[in-house]
Amino acid sequence: MEIRRPLPKNQSFLAASLAGLIVLVLLISGITRSTDNPISCQSRSDYPTTPIQLRAILYYATSTGVPQQSKEEIKVTFDVLQSLSASKYLVFGLGNDSVMWASLNTRGTTLFLEEDPEWVQSILKEAPDIRAHTIKYPTKLSQADDLLSSYKSEPECLPPKSYLRGNVKCPLALANLPEEVYETEWDMIMIDAPKGWYADAPGRMGAIYSAAVMARNRKGSGVTHVFLHDIDRRVEKIYAEEFLCKKYFVKGVGRLWHFAIPPAANGSDGSRNSSFC
Interaxial angle between packed helices 11-34 and 51-62, expressed in degrees from 0 to 180 and rounded to the nearest 10: 160
Per-residue confidence (pLDDT) for residue 159, from 0 to 100: 95
Report the pLDDT averaged over residues 168-194. 98
Per-residue confidence (pLDDT) for residue 96, from 0 to 100: 86
Per-residue pLDDT for 198 more than 60? yes
Residue 246 or residue 18, greater confidence: 246
Per-residue pLDDT for 204 more than 90? yes
pLDDT, tens digit, 9 for 90 and up, residues 61-114: 566 666 789 999 999 999 999 999 899 999 999 988 999 999 999 999 999 999
Report the pLDDT averaged over residues 185-191. 98
Per-residue pLDDT for 3 more than 70? no
Per-residue confidence (pLDDT) for residue 31, from 0 to 100: 45
pLDDT band at residue 50 under the 50/70/90 scheme: confident
Per-residue confidence (pLDDT) for residue 201, from 0 to 100: 98
- For the beta carbon of residue 232, count every other beta carbon within 10 angstroms: 10
Phi and psi at residue 256, in whole multiples of 5°? -115, 130
Pure H helices in the chain:
11-34, 51-62, 71-84, 98-103, 117-126, 144-150, 179-183, 205-216, 234-239
Per-residue pLDDT for 134 more than 50? yes
Show the domains of the chain with their CATH numbers.
66-261 (3.40.50.150)
pLDDT > 90: what percent of the chain? 67
pTM above 0.85, yes or no: no
Q: If you average pLDDT over each of 6-15, 62-71, 110-119, which comes out highest?
A: 110-119
Cis check for the bond before 160: say yes or no (omega within 30 of 0): yes
What average pLDDT is seen over the chain?
84
C-alpha span between 173 and 72 (Å, rounded): 31
Residue 86 is classified by DSSP as: S
Contacts with 221 (C-beta within 8 Å, 6 or more apart), sequence order = none
pLDDT band at residue 14 under the 50/70/90 scheme: very low
Which helix H or strand E contains 114, and what residues bound it?
A: strand 109-114
pLDDT > 70: what percent of the chain? 75
Question: Exposure pattern of 199-212 as b/e (b: 16+ CB <10 Å)?
Answer: eebbbbbbbbbbbb
Per-residue confidence (pLDDT) for residue 55, from 0 to 100: 65
